[in-house]
Amino acid sequence: MFKSNIDKISKSNEIVRSVRKAINKRLTTPIYGIFLVSWLIFNWEFIFTMFFVSEEKILDKTGLLKHVYLHQTFFNYQDWTFWVWQIIPFIITYFVIWKFPKWIGLPAFKKEAEYEIEKRKVEIIGQRQLEEESVKKLEVTTQKAKKESEIKKIDPSISWPQEYKEFKRSSFSKELRYIMDSIYKFNGDIVSSDARGRRVFEIPKDILAYFHTNDLVSLVEDEEKIELTEKGKFFIRLFLRDINLGATKTEKGIIEDKTKDKANVALITCKIVSVLPDRISFNFLRDWKVWFLIQNHEKKKYKVHVKVKFISDGYEEDVKRGYYGGTKTWNLNALAEIAAPGLGIPKKIKEKARQKKKIEIRISCEIKDENDRLIEKKLPMGYVYDYENNNWYYEP
């Protein structure tokens, strides 16, 4: 009996759940929702009166009870408006569910789909144009690189200036002295020893590998020697030029600082060098010659008297006469530059140089304008010989 009661309760629960599910489905169906909203819109006064107007108020106003008033006012079957307010929600539901989607929804959806398709087409066309532009740029770059490669094959020296700039930024630029020493001091030897067999010079392997693999030097077959390639000679020429330009910039900077607040100053520079671009290079210990370079950096004409003094290890000797002794005038036109190799080296200085003593050439100059009016007497400037690099560096 207990079991039969349990079965009855279970069956009744299932019925309740199925009824609840059916009601819930009906209520959530669009048809019922739209009909309910439509009916409430047209019959809102009935709902308002039934729930929010008191019976006393209706009685006072109409003399009728509330249920009589509701029936006569809102459910008068004899009044045609009653049927209109009941039928209209059905009509609205029918049109909203079946007709409006067909008349309005589908065309709108089609238009939206067409818009999205057109939008996608525009995006694809734009993307394709960008890809075509990228391909064109790539083709131009490829053709340019190909032409540059062909030009380099015909004339490799075209790329040397750019390669030299990269070389100057690398740490190996400081090691160029090994190559210069090998070529110009040790006859191209990679390893050099003195008469007693003691090693006095050697190019480190990593440095040799760098300069060889970058085609700056070539290895002599069957000998431990190197030779400069044309590219290597080009690099050394630019390297020496940069050293000279560096000295010139230093001198210019000093002169500009001095003349910043003075009008009676002439931008004239004098210096001593062993190497000048497009001119013969001197080896001081072999040729006993130097270049004397005097430059006018202004658009004015000047007359300059130069006096040169040689100094070494406590010994001093002045040039007594001529262009370097102050008795002859250097006539400098506007922006003129004179490079002269005629400065004679005294015997005592040669002896000191052979002993690797410090050699200094000190320059003083007096500057006048073209009317012989004194403009400036410059302070002495000294140039000291660098035995290792065969060059002269400025020493204030």
* pLDDT-based confidence at residue 315 (cuts at 50, 70, 90): very high
In this predicted model, what pLDDT tens digit does every residue of 108-138 receive, in sequence order? 777 777 878 888 888 888 888 888 888 888 7
Q: What value does the mean pLDDT of the chain take?
A: 80
Burial class (CB in 10 A: 0-12, 13-18, 19+), 30: exposed
pLDDT at 2: 46
* Residues 334-351 pLDDT 10s: 988 999 988 999 999 999
- Length of the chain equals 396
- The whole-number pLDDT of residue 331 equals 95
Residue 99, pLDDT above cutoff 70: no
DSSP assignments along 238-283, one per residue: HHHHHHHHHHHHHHHHHHHHHTTT-SS---EEEEEES--TTSPPP-
Query: pLDDT by residue (tens digit) across 233-285?
Result: 888 888 888 877 665 555 555 545 544 444 567 788 898 988 877 778 889 99
For residues 11-37, average pLDDT: 64
Greater confidence, 232 or 310?
Answer: 310
Instruction: Determine the pLDDT at residue 260.
Output: 47
Query: How far is the C-alpha of 271 from the C-alpha of 393, rounded, in Å?
Result: 9
What would the mean pLDDT of 219-226 be, rounded to a whole number?
81
The torsion angle over the Cα atoms of residues 160, 163, 164 and 170, rounded to 10 degrees, is -160
* Encoded tokens for 363: 């320059």
